[in-house]
Structures are given as C-alpha cells and as structure tokens.
Amino acid sequence: MKWLYQVKPVSPDLGFLMMRLAAAFMLFHGTPKLLGFTERMEKFPDPIGIGTVPSLVLCVFAEFFCTVFIVLGLFTRVMLVPLLINMTVVIFIVHAADPLAEKEMAFMYLFLYLGLFFTGPGKY
C-alpha cells in the first residue's frame, strides 16, 4: 500500500474537466423545462415571489444555458453564480420541509458548483 501514497496526480486540470462534464447532467433537468416551457408556465412554482414565468425563465437560464457554458469552459465562474443561486433556492426554499433524501441531488450539484467556482474551469 505504500506505493499508493507515492503516486503523483496526473493533472488537476483533468479533474476540473471531469467536474465540468459531471455538471452536464444538469442538462437533464433543464432541457425538459426548456422544451415544455409553455406547458409549465402557469404551473411552475414561485418560490421567491417574482411570478411563475420569471421563475421558470431564471430556472431554464441557469439549468440549461449556464450549464452549456460550463461544459464548454466559457465564462465558468460567472455562469456558476445563477446555478449556485438556483440550487440554494431548491434546497432551502422549494424542498425546505422535505427529507434529506429529496435534497440529496441538489446538495451534490451545489457542492460540485462551489468546487468549480473556487478552482476555476482548468485549462482543458
């Protein structure tokens, strides 16, 4: 097991790329909201009191468009801000009364986005 401690990291930038690609799974949440925008307009929750349509617009912007920029490594830190706000609202307002199991994925994304925010996108 001593050899395990002597292994040097391949590349932190490769790790940052993997983190950005993991963020791409958020597209699975944003794409249906974008494609079914008109059907969701009246039924979408309004957790911060700005109206259902603006809430949906902000959610689609964060979950779809910001995620595309993050995967491409463009304007990463700026694009992470709406996603960090989105995940914070999901955890502490939308699912505030739900058990931890309901919030688990949102927490995972929140910490993934925080890690990317503090490290940056890397060079790849």
Q: How far apart are alpha carbons 71 and 31 in whole angstroms? A: 15
Q: How confident is the model at residue 81 (pLDDT cuts 50, 70, 90)?
A: very high
Does position 3 have pLDDT exceeding 70, yes or no?
no
What rounded mean pLDDT belongs to the chain? 91
Mean predicted confidence (pLDDT) in 74-88: 96
- Whether residue 48 contacts residue 55, with contact meaning beta carbons closer than 8 Å, is answered with yes
Measure Cα distances from 13 to 17, 26, 61 in Å: 6, 21, 27
